[in-house]
Structure 1
């Protein structure tokens, strides 16, 4: 349901600026060509400037014209100009995690581009479980990125999204990820990348980058930092968990770039590992693009990890492993000497350059006038548009998760409640709502502003900030809670608690926030609604079990329109439908659980609890996929096969067994079009329209190396009040019903697989086909 809330004053000011700027605002000076300027006589007619030729032929021609000294200066993010060939310098490093960001040096705000649409942090939009929304956000972000490039203030290569698994709830960068499930993260990656890059495989709108490959999910914990960490990971966990999103990003999203990480994996820096880069990413998965290092990763493994004895060896190892571009100066400084010392062939440098230049050609950077490009007409008028800002609001609404609603207490009635006390360190924040890797937002609506559009508010912070070091402001907060008809507490975390370079110490609310909440709830004249703003999970069992706190919302970091979205849900203009993309653990989960232990599976013999909902069976505060609504949905399976037969490809004998029973190797099965079609009827039994997230889990046949359950499909469906919708779900058997054995081999277990959709279950027997015939 659309909100009737008005734009914030800041938004109105910005939109007014757009209108009053007149015609001159809508026309920008044409950006000078990056290369192949049609007015440049020395390059006119050269093959690398001819758009009619194939990209690889143009690249080959250009590389053949470059000297070794020119080539090595193109290997860093701040690529040097080649004046004699009419090529300008280029800054490769721009970011667009959830909107065009100014974190990288490639993007600058100001002048005609004072801001860009700042969508919710990724963990929030992941909670929508809505792939079409993720792609829509990507399209808007790339519109604004292209507009800023045309205006001369941004690049075309964006090192986003972050598709690492949110393995440990303490990770400071978990907020940047789509959560803990490999399939969810992979679907997000492919969808967002398609939105950014467009659907023309030969031409890129902008070039996306999936990062940080691989097993990277520790920044700075207990004296161990990402620059020195050696992630010891089993083949099983690499294939089963850590690599899944990257594989989906490359194979399904067709991403133009992959970034290797700072850490080592099993003793080898990822940016120097040919098995990871050359063999897997480019060879097995077929990356059509370039591989870039995380910033100064090559320097890190030489200077800090002491992996090589000389800088020339470090440069040679990286390029021979398959690294094409260095974020940093290391390769530009040391590669020429590596070639001269015989550690590296110039052909290896040519291969790296071919991969980066190919992407620049596909971006249209060698096609002359940028204004002649299909996206060359985008400009300031296409940034922070009302439609883009409405999508930011809608994204926040879809990502907010209702965790508790006893009574129900929500939505709040403005007829019953005339005044609301708004309390908490995050109650009137703006910048906090956009999380990290954000740019300059078009404008903000804080929670206090959003709530104030619906009802009269009385405001007290209660704590100066989220660290909540003392109780000096408690008295005033308790006082307003005792006077108002209802109380809304907005608490949680911010970038001082969880961030890049900063992992969390624990899972409880910082400082004395819990004490503030309990005192305010005890004094409140009416219901106390708890609103949590955070990237990572929080142990709020005290509030979950407190009858004086009848409702809890989690918002993640909800973006520039976060306050409006929170208010729309609190007052019933929008029916919440988000689901948690990560498990919320109790604080006790962390006992004797080092962040440095990478194993996903639990161990009874050592007491190791396991990680994520797939392998952990202990108590939780809220489970992965949890989220309630203002209405009730009932699922009924209308049709689903009882038996699926797996045909072998004819070259392999039957009976590919493991110690845990019969399981066919995925590579031995005829996987093409082998899917299970499940039709599910979703009935809305309530009086409110709503968008429902349909999560489908599978429990494979028992075996000590299989997950307890795993997400195999999800769909977002809008169901009007008291209506029913039928949803068709196709589950690719080889991709989603397979598991990975201890040797890292993906197999399809034979036997009964149980599908779970809400409270409904359906068993499918998977069998080896007789005579190669598929039966279902």
Structure 2
């Protein structure tokens, strides 16, 4: 080698580079070898052989697990088993009316609105759209290395409990009070969600809450309900049976309460005898969240003394998966102490792992048809159009005196008034996703009438003591000499160490959907600390709150006012305080996020304001008034701390409109202006005064992100409403049995003996329909199908939908229902058009359920009614735009 001392540095540099490259290649080679060894190791496992039947693969996987590993996989947040190549999996996900709590998604109408469409095939389309978004989001999360809560493919939907009592705050999640309507909507949603592939489930749907569960919320962890066998099999179980037998639902969630002394998640009758033995259910059962803890915790069911006993009882009775913290590690103790056999653990784990294999989680994504759904389907125009269509079909026109509706688009001025006129929450209901659009009634009416003067006023709070909270503006927030608050952002959930960055946030009003606030965030975990001063510009009593989707704390003048812990969807906590103008108060907000739907809003409201006077002024200078009243998912829903007049911890103690709204409505109506009432709510309302005094009433439910568009289209005649009530609207809570009484006597349209305000199945149209040529046999041999045909004609001047409803009544039978829905179909008819409809009613549908809970067929008189409503109602309770025909036939042996 020709070595020149003057080139030594260059030589050394070259030599060092060669050495470094050699070292890098060596380590890469070692890592590759190690990776190849791991891949070879994992692929060598029999359970990774995709040519084998799933049953054999599952059996092989479980055989290689230790007892501790088995138990770990029976908790909802199952950790990885690295040595076997089993990734972590969080079973908890929600899609009640669109993918929920996982960032951006299309938000469809709430469940009660889905029921109000009376359009089961449309809800199948919705299920398909929702599961498209679910699959696309899941695979995106996986590609980013995220396997956390709300990112999996096992969804705890639908809620097919019977909405037997309007006081129940979670009734909004259901499809109504009728078992048959609920079953048709539920079966179609489940089928749309789970898909039709012969090998792979699209997602897993979960029928909940099994069973005999519909309030009260505040005592659900301790209540023990009783029913007759007749009520059990006629009312509470049919929708679950249909979900299992027809829709092949792959998961069932057991309820919090006890039924006939047994906890539902430890019920041999419900989980073994009925679900598995009688219905042949072969999926898995998941507990409602922390329901197993209720088995032993003081003041709850107290069936056993320890968590280990509780876990053993639940698993031995058939609850395979625990949403909660009871199974792990207590099940291991239970096995070792012989409280439960390990074979029971293996059986539960077999059911759980079968679901994961059927979802394709142990196969290449290239082999799973559903993995090819592009992310572009999420919040796509096609899904927006479907959400708006469902919202339109859910609209129920309750009253339309003297054809007050539709309104003319030539109106020069219109007042839009009420706490729900511009409320985002009243669009969403509970268990919702995060939409890009918030088309409130106010916004939609402004878009509909670009040349009119829109006079908006809040008018009233939603209820006494529940003001409308708005984002605290930057004008009253100070950080030194600057407006707004100091914001420190951290890549952890405990505000530790040096923040990633510090900036000024003018307000705290964040919904981080596609992009987290910190770049290159590998997980969903981050935290923010906001500090500064609140300096009000008006003296008075204020409510100050924080709305957050994960967890955090609010400090005021150094005092901790409240703390969020693991809230799974945005909820608001608050405190009330007297403030003086110009006097500053120290603010510190600590927020941390742990899932894929981070949201935080710092909000307030000035209490005891005069809201009615501005509303009256707005009405006086307008030609027409639209009042948007009702309820809010902030005060009706799941197990809430809310205690207001008429409300009781998520439920209602009264079913009227809150007094604030009644006062507003009466004062607006007294002005003599044409007035329309739009109701937005999740449960039936006793709007008796409105039914007598307001000429037009539209029920809109919680209608999703395009709900305002649907409302405006109905009000101005661009859509002809045809929704029908899926629940009875009663006149008073005094008409109802005790809330905890689960007997069906004097409940729902089937057994209510009083006069409802608006009956189940009620709904008006802008056109009219007539029924002719009813063909029903005079006699029918029992055990034969009942075949019926009828002609339906649109006798009005505009096109529209009609919901054809078929009921049967067993005349003269003791304890028989007044009538029972056995068939329905929503059809579209052009003006003047006639269609012939056919129904085939099976013996099971027209059979009676006896006191033993057995379907029996007996000779006797069967009354059949068919039309766009129930028969025999008068006045405002009658659907004047539709017809009904009634015929008796004789059932013979």
TM interval, short-chain normalised: 0.7 to 0.9
Structure 2 residue aligned with 1:323, among 312, 319, 324?
319
Indicate the residue corresponding to 2:372 in structure 1. 377
Indicate the residue corresponding to 2:238 in structure 1. 244
Alpha-carbon distance, 1:763 to partner: 2.2
Distance in 2, matches of 1:511 and 1:733, equals 48
Could you say what secondary structure the match of 2:202 adopts?
coil
Structure 1 residue aligned with 2:337, among 326, 329, 341?
341
Indicate the residue corresponding to 1:651 in structure 2. none
* 1:149-183: CA deviation from partner (whole Å, max 9, x where unpaired): 00116210000000000011100000000000011
2:169 is the alignment partner of 1:172: yes
**Are the structure 2 counterparts of residues 366 and 312 from structure 1 closer, same or farther at C-alpha, using a change threshold of 3 Å?**
same
Indicate the residue corresponding to 1:585 in structure 2. 730
Structure 2 residue aligned with 1:272, among 245, 250, 266?
266
Alpha-carbon distance, 1:496 to partner: 3.1
For 1:133-532, what aligned pairs fall within 5 Å after superposition?
A: 133-152=122-141, 154-220=151-217, 225-303=219-297, 304-368=300-364, 370-415=365-410, 417-455=411-449, 456=452, 457-467=454-464, 472-501=610-639, 502-525=650-673, 527-532=674-679
2:813 is the alignment partner of 1:688: no
2:844 is the alignment partner of 1:750: no
**Are the structure 2 counterparts of residues 705 and 286 from structure 1 closer, same or farther at C-alpha, using a change threshold of 3 Å?**
same
Distance in 2, matches of 1:341 and 1:229, equals 30
Gaps of 5+ in 1: 1-35, 103-107, 110-114, 602-609, 648-673, 769-776
Could you say what secondary structure the match of 1:207 adopts?
coil
Q: Is the 8 A contact 2:73 2:79 kept in 1?
A: yes
2:97 is the alignment partner of 1:98: yes
* 1:40-86: CA deviation from partner (whole Å, max 9, x where unpaired): 21121432112222221111111111111110111110112111110
Distance in 2, matches of 1:575 and 1:169, equals 27
Structure 2 residue aligned with 1:629, among 758, 762, 765?
765
Indicate the residue corresponding to 1:645 in structure 2. 781
Distance in 1, matches of 2:130 and 2:818, equals 37
Could you say what secondary structure the match of 2:824 adopts?
strand
Alpha-carbon distance, 1:680 to partner: 1.6
Q: Is the 8 A contact 1:423 1:488 kept in 2?
A: yes
Paired residues in the alignment total 679
**Are the structure 2 counterparts of residues 721 and 272 from structure 1 closer, same or farther at C-alpha, using a change threshold of 3 Å?**
same
**Are the structure 2 counterparts of residues 434 and 124 from structure 1 closer, same or farther at C-alpha, using a change threshold of 3 Å?**
same
Distance in 1, matches of 2:94 and 2:424, equals 21
Could you say what secondary structure the match of 1:309 adopts?
coil
Distance in 2, matches of 1:468 and 1:337, equals 49
Alpha-carbon distance, 1:747 to partner: 1.2
**Are the structure 2 counterparts of residues 244 and 496 from structure 1 closer, same or farther at C-alpha, using a change threshold of 3 Å?**
same
Could you say what secondary structure the match of 1:164 adopts?
coil
Distance in 1, matches of 2:188 and 2:734, equals 33
Distance in 2, matches of 1:755 and 1:701, equals 10
For 1:554-569, what aligned pairs fall within 5 Å after superposition?
A: 554-569=699-714
Alpha-carbon distance, 1:518 to partner: 1.2
Q: Is the 8 A contact 2:412 2:623 kept in 1?
A: yes
Q: Is the 8 A contact 1:420 1:486 kept in 2?
A: yes
Could you say what secondary structure the match of 1:453 adopts?
helix
**Are the structure 2 counterparts of residues 450 and 49 from structure 1 closer, same or farther at C-alpha, using a change threshold of 3 Å?**
same
Indicate the residue corresponding to 1:772 in structure 2. none
Distance in 1, matches of 2:114 and 2:370, equals 26
Q: Is the 8 A contact 2:254 2:264 kept in 1?
A: yes
Alpha-carbon distance, 1:232 to partner: 1.5
Could you say what secondary structure the match of 1:319 adopts?
helix
* 1:246-304: CA deviation from partner (whole Å, max 9, x where unpaired): 11111111101000000000111011112210221122112131001000111111113
Q: Is the 8 A contact 2:426 2:681 kept in 1?
A: no
Comparing both structures, which one devotes a greater share of its residues to strand?
2
Distance in 2, matches of 1:728 and 1:440, equals 42
**Are the structure 2 counterparts of residues 701 and 202 from structure 1 closer, same or farther at C-alpha, using a change threshold of 3 Å?**
farther
Indicate the residue corresponding to 1:600 in structure 2. 744
Could you say what secondary structure the match of 1:375 adopts?
helix
* 1:596-629: CA deviation from partner (whole Å, max 9, x where unpaired): 111102xxxxxxxx11110111021100000010
Q: Is the 8 A contact 1:433 1:560 kept in 2?
A: yes
Q: Is the 8 A contact 2:782 2:858 kept in 1?
A: no
**Are the structure 2 counterparts of residues 574 and 281 from structure 1 closer, same or farther at C-alpha, using a change threshold of 3 Å?**
same
Indicate the residue corresponding to 2:86 in structure 1. 87
TM-score normalized with structure 1 length: 0.85
TM-score normalized with structure 2 length: 0.74
Alpha-carbon distance, 1:755 to partner: 1.0
Alpha-carbon distance, 1:39 to partner: 7.7
Alpha-carbon distance, 1:380 to partner: 2.5
Distance in 1, matches of 2:398 and 2:788, equals 28
Q: Is the 8 A contact 2:399 2:691 kept in 1?
A: yes
Alpha-carbon distance, 1:524 to partner: 4.5
2:717 is the alignment partner of 1:572: yes
Q: Is the 8 A contact 1:150 1:371 kept in 2?
A: no
**Are the structure 2 counterparts of residues 731 and 65 from structure 1 closer, same or farther at C-alpha, using a change threshold of 3 Å?**
same
The structure with the largest alpha-carbon Rg is 2
Q: Is the 8 A contact 2:778 2:890 kept in 1?
A: yes
Gaps of 5+ in 2: 1-34, 467-607, 640-649, 868-883
Distance in 2, matches of 1:637 and 1:395, equals 31
Could you say what secondary structure the match of 1:123 adopts?
helix
Distance in 1, matches of 2:203 and 2:106, equals 17
- With 680-689 and 310-319 compared, the bigger mean Cα shift is at 310-319
Q: Is the 8 A contact 1:428 1:447 kept in 2?
A: yes
Could you say what secondary structure the match of 2:634 adopts?
coil
Q: Is the 8 A contact 1:37 1:86 kept in 2?
A: no
For 1:653-664, what aligned pairs fall within 5 Å after superposition?
A: none
Could you say what secondary structure the match of 2:811 adopts?
coil
Alpha-carbon distance, 1:468 to partner: 7.3
Distance in 2, matches of 1:722 and 1:537, equals 34
